[in-house]
Amino acid sequence: MTARSVKLSLIALFTSLAVLFRYAKNVVTMVQFINFPLMFTIIGGMFFGYKTGCLVGILSYVLSDVLIFPGVWTVVDSLLAGFIGFLWGFIGRNRRVGVELFVWIYLSVFLFDILSSVLLYIVMGLEPINALVWGFIGLFLPVFGGSLVGVGPVTEFFTSFLIYITYGELRKRGVLFEGDF
């Protein structure tokens, strides 16, 4: 098997897992406590480099939104996830462990949540500063039709925790960073 075949297989595997888990979650509930596409995006970037992370991020949101409900958020979320996956292709090379790794993961998920809200509010016509305020407030309080209190930090924590645990298990089993082969 060539390196290119392996890379394509990994991208397909991580993307299909992200789409499957997101779709299955949406069949049960629209409430999000784990961001599955972002989870597989970060793991793909961590272990297999920036190209894999970027493509998994873009493809997982585009394909899952096609199944769930596409809109302008599809473009925003897929590009942001691709950017986060791209960054983790470089962050993953510096084998962080423990609390430091968890904090980096949490900040990545937090950045994704804030930027996706802000960019969507700007598209809806809000001024950038107002979009930032509403995006931040929306993590903690229901805004613009939301109904849950504190869902942002809960989602960010559980997503980060699951990525952290998965990272540890994959390292324990000998999966190592291979870079962009």
User: Which one-letter amino acid corresponds to residue 176?
Assistant: L
Residue 178: pLDDT above 90? Answer: no
User: Which one-letter amino acid corresponds to residue 55?
Assistant: L
The whole-model pTM stands at 0.89
Mean pLDDT of the chain: 87
b/e map 73-105, b = 16+ CB within 10 Å: bbbbbbbbbbbbbbbbbebbeeebeeeebbebb
CA–CA dist 63, 48 (Å, integer): 21
Q: Which pLDDT band, with edges at 50, 70 and 90, does 145 fall under?
A: low
Q: Which pLDDT band, with edges at 50, 70 and 90, does 21 fall under?
A: very high
Percent of the chain surpassing pLDDT 90: 57
